[in-house]
Amino acid sequence: MDNECYLHKAKYVMLETRLLNTGLAKKVWSCSTMNTNELCGNNCNLFVGGFKDLGTVVKLLQEDLGGVRLFGYKLHNDRIEFGEMKDFDEIPTTVADIQKPGYFRISSTGYRFRHSFSSPKAFLLPPEHSILTVSQGYEIVEDGDGEMGVVFLGIKPCDRKAMSILDGILYGKSPVYTKRRDSIKAIIVEECLEPGETCFCSAVKAGPTISSGFDIAYARLYKDTLVFKYGSSLGEKILVKAGLQKAQDSHVKAYFEMVANAISMMNSRISRVEELQKALKERIGDKSFWEKVSSNCVGCGNCNYVCPTCFCTEINDIVEEGYSKRIGMWLGCLTYTYGLVAGGHFRQELYTRYRHFVLHKFLFYPKQVGDVGCVGCGRCITWCPLGVDLRDTLNLLVEGGTR
């Protein structure tokens, strides 16, 4: 029995046992009659290996692409950050993360982590980036940033989807974003089989698996057992070259069971997106509701900075040695400055800024880029110093604010 047969069987099992009443189940069901499917994208040609094999895959990919730098998640001061990696083995494999609203700790028991505090956004649209350098005589001095090639290693499906959302806003328009986006030569995704406590990616269709927009994806089945799949011809070439074994029946079964588990765990964490959108439209001007749900917010903007899809920036001029450097800097909509103009303020009250964050993700992004702007990574919840939980706001919306 090959993988494909198992795929259908696994999907059937999922439908029967866990997903019957969820929106995703309907989608999977309709897809299971076709050749492609929502979960894999290439008929689930699954391969199996360990971290050593991942190392081989990365090495082969680097050889194939030539002179590329690796970016991914790595340990940094007892947290996990997104940044440049010296080697593939910087991927944390012997630690887990414990995440709760307003809480993040690294634990040495366990081997799965969910996500970093910084996302690929930190690479694509750096917190501070040069826009222009101007002389006193108003002449432009161009900054000659060199060409680069980059591989994203092990990014999670939620972060990969966040990139597509940012593409919709910034690609082809923001010079720094466009250049950095074009520098990405390959994407390796790590699927999440055990969601963290603040995660809800499946509820916004951003995970825990990925079906397109990647070259190679892997999932950590057990400690050193990884299930691989490819999402592009480049990925296929590399996996074949690496000599990976086809996954056995037991692996495929375990993989789909874990995926189904993860989905059923997360889907119930927020209301259905369509219901949320309806409630948001009705509540848009309900000041007392927004004041209530934002009452613990202090307007620090942490949520904005850790959010993989927040893109707002300020432009500051910094004068040095006869030149003015125009620097783009992240600006969070939760901070007081957002909406502040000389002689007035368009969002003076904190509730209006908190509301913008929520409305933008769920109502405005769909109109701006055609998809919900929240990827359910839960970073805004984990890294909120006050533990303000976006999911509470969303659930209150639908429940009618009586809780």
Partner 1 sequence: MKVELQKDNYTANPFVFRKALVVNKVEEAPGIYTYFLKFDGEFKILPGQFNMLYVYGLGEVPISLSNLPIFRNGYTLLEHTVRVMGAVTKAITLGLGIGSFIGIRGPYGNGWPLKDAEGRDITIVGGGIGIAPLRPIIKYVEREREKFGRMNILLGARTPRDMPYKYELDKYGAILNTKLLLSSDTPADGWVHHVGFVTDLINNIDVNIKNSVVFVCGPEVMMRVAVKKLLGRGFRKEDIYLSLERRMRCGIGVCGTCQFGHYFVCRDGPVFRYSDIEDYLWVEGI
Query: Does 324 participate in binding partner 1 (rule CB under 8 A)?
Result: yes
E-strand ranges in 267-379 read 313-320, 323-330, 340-341, 344-345
Contact window for partner 1 (CB under 8 A) among 87-95, 245-253, 266-274, 333-341 = 333-341
Rounded to the nearest 10 degrees, what angle do helices 249-267 and 3-17 cross at?
30
- CB contact at 8 A, 204 and 165: no
C-alpha–C-alpha distance, residues 111 and 94, integer Å: 5
Find the binding residues for partner 1 in span 102-131 (CB under 8 A): 131
Task: Report the chain's terminal Cα–Cα distance, integer Å.
Answer: 51
- Among 96, 260, 331, 377, interactor with partner 1 by CB under 8 A: 331
Enumerate the β-bridge partners of residue 344. 341
- CB contact at 8 A, 211 and 41: yes
Size of the residue set binding partner 1 (CB under 8 A): 69
Least separation in angstroms between CB 197 and partner 1: 30
Query: Does 287 participate in binding partner 1 (rule CB under 8 A)?
Result: yes
- Shorter beta-carbon distance to partner 1: residue 213 or 401: 213
Query: Does 328 participate in binding partner 1 (rule CB under 8 A)?
Result: yes
In this structure, the dihedral spanned by the alpha carbons of residues 265, 270, 272 and 276, taken in order and rounded to 10 degrees, is: -170
128-135 and 140-141 strand pairing: antiparallel
Least separation in angstroms between CB 91 and partner 1: 19
Query: Does 315 participate in binding partner 1 (rule CB under 8 A)?
Result: yes
Single-letter amino acid, residue 260: A
Helix ranges (H only) for 242-331 are 249-267, 273-283, 287-293, 302-306
- Among 161, 229, 356, 361, interactor with partner 1 by CB under 8 A: 356
Least separation in angstroms between CB 219 and partner 1: 19
Find the binding residues for partner 1 in span 182-201 (CB under 8 A): 182, 184-187
Query: Does 347 participate in binding partner 1 (rule CB under 8 A)?
Result: yes
C-alpha–C-alpha distance, residues 277 and 161, integer Å: 20
Structure tokens at 267: 């889907």
> Among 52, 97, 45, 57, which residue's Cα sits nearest to residue 74?
97
- Among 98, 134, 148, 273, interactor with partner 1 by CB under 8 A: 134
- Shorter beta-carbon distance to partner 1: residue 189 or 199: 189
Give the three-class secondary structure for 327. strand
Contact window for partner 1 (CB under 8 A) among 23-31, 66-74, 270-278, 343-351 = 343-351
- Among 42, 43, 178, 225, interactor with partner 1 by CB under 8 A: 178
Which whole-number Å values give the CA distances from 34 to 44, 76, 176, in the listed order?
13, 44, 40
Least separation in angstroms between CB 215 and partner 1: 4
Single-letter amino acid, residue 116: S
- Shorter beta-carbon distance to partner 1: residue 189 or 260: 189
Contact window for partner 1 (CB under 8 A) among 66-74, 100-108, 245-253, 360-368 = 360-368
Give the three-class secondary structure for 14. helix
What is the x/- site pattern for partner 1, positions 222-261, by CB under 8 A? Answer: ---------xx-xx--------------------------
Determine phi and psi for 49, rounding to 5 degrees.
-170, -170
Q: What is the DSSP string of 275-295?
A: HHHHHHHHHTT-HHHHHHHTT
Query: Does 339 participate in binding partner 1 (rule CB under 8 A)?
Result: yes
Least separation in angstroms between CB 303 and partner 1: 15
Which residues in this chain contact partner 1 in the complex, by CB under 8 A?
131-132, 134, 136-140, 142, 167, 169-175, 177-178, 181-182, 184-187, 213-215, 231-232, 234-235, 284-285, 287, 311-317, 319, 324, 326, 328, 331, 333, 338-343, 346-349, 351-353, 355-356, 359-360, 363-364, 367-368
